[in-house]
Amino acid sequence: MTNSRNTIQRQLVLSAVRQLQNHPTADEVYQEVQKNCPTISRATVYRNLKLLAEEGEIRLRNISGSPERYDHICSNHYHLRCEQCGKVMDVEMPYMAFLDEKVR
């Protein structure tokens, strides 16, 4: 049996990641969810982010020089991080798996 409270909270977290569309950190997602659900705890948001990433609904992105971020786009693609403001952006180019190996 699914816990409806967790389902509602999970949907709020998923909705926030999709709405923000800016590769938000867990804290940014928490701040966004709190606008609609002021009683939600940080731990609940973090737990649901982890579950959503494990389920493939969102992707956890580890971008060099930046805290962990979450992405509403689950397909493989590239990112750039501005060294001045820290903003993370998608790169509009075809994904080439061999580049990942070369970079590693």
**pLDDT at residue 104, as a whole number:** 61
Domain 4-103 fold is Arc Repressor Mutant, subunit A (1.10.10)
DSSP characters over the chain: ---HHHHHHHHHHHHHHHHH-S---HHHHHHHHHHH-TT--HHHHHHHHHHHHHHTSSEEE--TTS--EEES--S--EEEE-TTT--EEEE-S---HHHHHHH-
pLDDT level of residue 68 (50, 70, 90 thresholds):
very high
pLDDT level of residue 2 (50, 70, 90 thresholds):
very low
pLDDT level of residue 49 (50, 70, 90 thresholds):
very high
Contacts of 56 (CB under 8 A, 6+ apart): 74
pLDDT tens string 87-100: 888 788 888 878 77
Is the Cβ–Cβ distance between 70 and 51 less than 8 Å?
no
Phi, psi (rounded to 5 degrees) for 18: -65, -40
